[in-house]
Structure 1
Amino acid sequence: MADVIADPETDPAATYAVDPARVRALTARVIASGEDGELRTTTPLTGAPLAVLPVSSARDVAVAVDAARVAQQAWALTPVEHRAAVMLRVHDLLLDRQPELLDLVQLESGKARSHAFEEVADCAIVARHYARRAPALLRDTKHVGVLPMLSRAVEHHRPKGVVGIVSPWNYPLTLAVSDTIPALLAGNGVVHRPDSQASLTALAGAEIFAEAGLPDGLLQVVLGPGNPTGQAVVDHADYISFTGSTATGRRVAQSAGRRLVGISLELGGKNTMYVAADANLRRAVDGAVRACFSSAGQLCVSAERLVVHADVYDEFVPRFVERVSRMRLSTGLHWGAEMGSLASAEQKDKVLAHIEDAVSKGARVLTGGRARPDIGPLVVEPTVLEGVTSAMACRDEETFGPLVSVYRVHSDDEAVRLANDTEFGLNASVWTRDVRRGREIAGRIHAGTVNLNEGYAAAWGSVAAPMGGMKSSGLGRRHGREGLMKYTESQNITSQHLVGIAPLAGMSDRAFARGLTAALRVMKAVRMK
Structure 2
Amino acid sequence: MSHSLLDPRAISALDSGITASSTETVPVLASFTGEVLHALPMSLPRDVTDAYARARRAQVAWARAGFAHRRRVLLRAHDLLLERRELLLDALQTETGKTRGQAFEEVFQAASVTRYNAVTARRVLSGDRRRAGIPLVVTTRVRYRPKGVAGVITPWNYPLSLAAMDVVPALAAGCGVVQKADNQGALSILALRGAFIEAGVPAALWAVVTGDGPQIGGAVTNGADYVCFTGSTATGIRVAQQAAENLTGASLELGGKNALIVLDDVDARRAAADAAYACFSSLGQLCVSTERIYVERAVAGPFLREFVAATVRLTLGATFDYSTDVGSLSTQAQLDRVEEHVADAVAHGATVLAGGRARPDLGPYFYEPTVLTGVTPAMACFAGETFGPVVRVSIVESEREAIAAANDSEFGLNASVFSGSARRGLRVAARLEAGSVNVNEGYRGSFSSVDAPMGGVKRSGLGRRNGPEGLLRFVNPVTISRATGVLQLPRTSHEFEALAGPLVLLTRVLKGLRRR
**Normalization by structure 1: what TM-score?**
0.95
1:12 corresponds to = none
Range that drifts further, 457-466 or 278-287: 278-287
Contact 1:274 1:306 in 2 (8 A): yes
Give 1:337 shift: 0.9
Q: Distance in 2 between matches of 1:167 and 1:23?
A: 20
Matched, 1:227 2:227: no
* Partner of residue 291 from structure 1, selected from 278, 292, 305: 278
Contact 2:269 2:307 in 1 (8 A): no
Q: Distance in 1 between matches of 2:491 and 2:351?
A: 82
Range that drifts further, 95-104 or 497-506: 497-506
* Partner of residue 163 from structure 1, selected from 150, 154, 174: 150
1:89 corresponds to = 76
Q: Distance in 1 between matches of 2:72 and 2:196?
A: 12
Contact 1:80 1:135 in 2 (8 A): yes
Matched, 1:28 2:16: yes
Partner amino acid for 1:20? P
2:255 corresponds to = 268
Contact 1:144 1:151 in 2 (8 A): no
Matched, 1:496 2:483: yes
Matched, 1:115 2:106: no
2:179 corresponds to = 192
Range that drifts further, 498-507 or 100-109: 498-507
Contact 1:18 1:50 in 2 (8 A): no
Q: Distance in 2 between matches of 1:18 and 1:230?
A: 28
Give 1:500 shift: 6.7
2:200 corresponds to = 213
Distance 1:196-1:508 versus aligned 2 partners, 3 A rule = same
Give 1:268 shift: 0.4
Give 1:374 shift: 0.4
- What value does the CA root-mean-square deviation take over the aligned residues? 1.4
Give 1:311 shift: 0.7
* Partner of residue 243 from structure 2, selected from 238, 242, 256: 256
Partner amino acid for 1:22? A
Matched, 1:407 2:394: yes
1:452 corresponds to = 439
**Normalization by structure 2: what TM-score?**
0.97
1:464 corresponds to = 451
Distance 1:97-1:524 versus aligned 2 partners, 3 A rule = same
Q: Distance in 2 between matches of 1:501 and 1:382?
A: 74
Give 1:299 shift: 0.3
Give 1:433 shift: 1.9
Give 1:462 shift: 0.9
Partner amino acid for 2:408? D
After superposition, what is the alpha-carbon deviation per residue over 1:219-253, rounded to whole angstroms, capped at 9, x for unaligned?
A: 11111111212221111111000000000000000
Give 1:18 shift: 4.1
* Partner of residue 300 from structure 1, selected from 284, 287, 294: 287
Give 1:52 shift: 0.9
Q: Distance in 2 between matches of 1:171 and 1:149?
A: 52
Partner amino acid for 1:19? D
Contact 1:466 1:482 in 2 (8 A): yes
Partner amino acid for 1:21? R
- Secondary structure of 2:53 counterpart: helix
After superposition, what is the alpha-carbon deviation per residue over 1:17-76, rounded to whole angstroms, capped at 9, x for unaligned?
A: 9433222211222221116x1111111111011011111101110000100000000001
2:378 corresponds to = 391
After superposition, what is the alpha-carbon deviation per residue over 1:115-167, rounded to whole angstroms, capped at 9, x for unaligned?
A: 10100000011111111211111112111111111211111111110011100
Give 1:289 shift: 1.1
Structure 1: gaps (5+ residues): 1-6, 10-14
* Partner of residue 329 from structure 1, selected from 293, 308, 316: 316
Partner amino acid for 2:51? A
Contact 1:168 1:195 in 2 (8 A): yes
- Secondary structure of 1:268 counterpart: coil
* Partner of residue 418 from structure 2, selected from 421, 426, 431: 431
Q: Distance in 2 between matches of 1:231 and 1:118?
A: 32
Give 1:463 shift: 0.8
Distance 1:476-1:505 versus aligned 2 partners, 3 A rule = closer
Aligned length: 516
1:527 corresponds to = 514
User: What does 1:325-404 correspond to in 2, within 5 Å?
Assistant: 325-404=312-391
Q: Distance in 1 between matches of 2:50 and 2:429?
A: 47
After superposition, what is the alpha-carbon deviation per residue over 1:479-518, rounded to whole angstroms, capped at 9, x for unaligned?
A: 1110111111111111112167742778354443333222
Distance 1:150-1:404 versus aligned 2 partners, 3 A rule = same
- Secondary structure of 1:306 counterpart: strand
Q: Distance in 2 between matches of 1:62 and 1:329?
A: 44
Q: Distance in 1 between matches of 2:306 and 2:217?
A: 45
2:266 corresponds to = 279
Distance 1:17-1:499 versus aligned 2 partners, 3 A rule = closer
Contact 2:403 2:431 in 1 (8 A): yes
Range that drifts further, 252-261 or 212-221: 212-221
User: What does 1:69-84 correspond to in 2, within 5 Å?
Assistant: 69-84=56-71
Q: Distance in 1 between matches of 2:62 and 2:508?
A: 47
Give 1:213 shift: 1.1
1:100 corresponds to = 87
Q: Distance in 1 between matches of 2:92 and 2:445?
A: 22
Contact 1:442 1:450 in 2 (8 A): yes
2:7 corresponds to = 19
- Secondary structure of 1:356 counterpart: helix
Distance 1:16-1:128 versus aligned 2 partners, 3 A rule = closer
1:513 corresponds to = 500
Contact 2:6 2:90 in 1 (8 A): no
Q: Distance in 1 between matches of 2:493 and 2:230?
A: 61
Q: Distance in 2 between matches of 1:406 and 1:505?
A: 73
Q: Distance in 1 between matches of 2:318 and 2:300?
A: 33
1:3 corresponds to = none
Distance 1:504-1:256 versus aligned 2 partners, 3 A rule = closer
User: What does 1:46-61 correspond to in 2, within 5 Å?
Assistant: 46-61=33-48
